[in-house]
Structure 1
Amino acid sequence: MNGMLSRAVTGAATVARGVRDDQLDLPAPRDGFGVRELLGHLAWTAAMLEAPARREQPPPGRRMGVFGEEMPVAEDASPFERALGLSGRDPAWEP
């Protein structure tokens, strides 16, 4: 693993281990994400990176709670909008 990624993983693991159960429902620094969702995202990302090294298929994101329920998209939706819908993100959302 390259040095920068190794340091990032070590730092993230240290922070994640320090999260208490009573902190899981607190907001994370990113709007719309809680601590629980952020940790779920980190766990899924780690599984996605680890699976190829083990010559395994990565786990489905929806099963790990990374993706929400599929969102409907228009018939003429672009491939990107369809991907957003599949991942549980609203393609019509705007900041």
Structure 2
Amino acid sequence: MNEMLSRAADRTVNVVRGIRDDQLALPTPCSEYDVRALLGHLSWVALMFEALARKEPLPPEDSEPDALEGRVRGMVEAWSHQEAFEGESPMMGLPMTVVFQMGLGDLVFHGWDLARATGQDYEVDSETAEAMAVYVEQMAPMARQNGVFGEEVAVPADAPPLDRALGLTGRDPAWKA
């Protein structure tokens, strides 16, 4: 599973490196964030999921976009240890395997958001796309109820797995800036 996280981290970091300063105020498919705010959010998310993997207390919220790449690498490293997947999260009360999927989803979906907003490509390997489709299908009702996912965007039944997952999170796979 950590290979998927490592690949998603590499993809997302490559997108982040490709963002120009003049793109920071652009809208994203994640409508409550522009590019700058989404970079900050993702930076905080990576720091949070690193702490969750280590079963440490959550650090104070810090949405520092310049720290994003290092935090993503820290997240990947923390999840590279088998004990990260064991038991339940003391903070979330969920199995650690589900917490891992949440973190992977944040990297994949927000990486896709940032790529779309800035006109970059974001290709996801088939293993990760399938894993995200299964995860989102299972979590969508609870995530929608908790305000984490938006209302489902209809996609064709034969759409690729990532498009199906995006639609279930409330994202339009055809979104363009």
TM-score, normalised by the number of residues in structure 2: 0.32
Give the structure 2 partner of residue 10 of structure 1: 10
Distance (Å, rounded) in 1 between the aligned partners of 2:63 and 2:37: 10
The 5 A counterparts of 1:67-82 are none
Q: CA deviation at 1:4?
A: 1.0
Give the structure 1 partner of residue 22 of structure 2: 22
1:46 aligns with 2:46: yes
Distance (Å, rounded) in 2 between the aligned partners of 1:11 and 1:31: 22
Query: What is the root-mean-square deviation in Å for CA atoms of aligned residues?
Result: 2.9
Deviations 1:10-59 (A, max 9, x none): 11111011111111111012212100111111111111233467786543
TM-score, normalised by the number of residues in structure 1: 0.54
Distance (Å, rounded) in 1 between the aligned partners of 2:37 and 2:13: 15
Q: CA deviation at 1:64?
A: 2.6
Query: Could you tell me which amino acid in structure 2 is paired with residue 24 of structure 1?
Result: L
| Residues 52 and 32 of structure 1, relative CA distance in 2, 3 Å threshold | closer
Question: Looking at both structures, which has the greater relative contact order when contacts are Cα pairs under 8 Å and sequence separation is at least 6?
Answer: 2
Give the structure 2 partner of residue 83 of structure 1: none
Partner secondary structure for residue 19 of structure 1: coil
Question: Mind listing any 5+ residue stretches in structure 1 that lack a counterpart?
Answer: 66-90
Question: Mind listing any 5+ residue stretches in structure 2 that lack a counterpart?
Answer: 65-146, 152-177
More helix by share: 2
Deviates more, 1:31-40 or 1:50-59: 50-59
| Residues 31 and 52 of structure 1, relative CA distance in 2, 3 Å threshold | closer
Q: What is the aligned length?
A: 67
| Residues 17 and 57 of structure 1, relative CA distance in 2, 3 Å threshold | farther
Distance (Å, rounded) in 1 between the aligned partners of 2:59 and 2:36: 18
Distance (Å, rounded) in 2 between the aligned partners of 1:12 and 1:55: 24
Distance (Å, rounded) in 2 between the aligned partners of 1:31 and 1:52: 26
Query: Could you tell me which amino acid in structure 2 is paired with residue 64 of structure 1?
Result: S
Q: CA deviation at 1:60?
A: 1.5
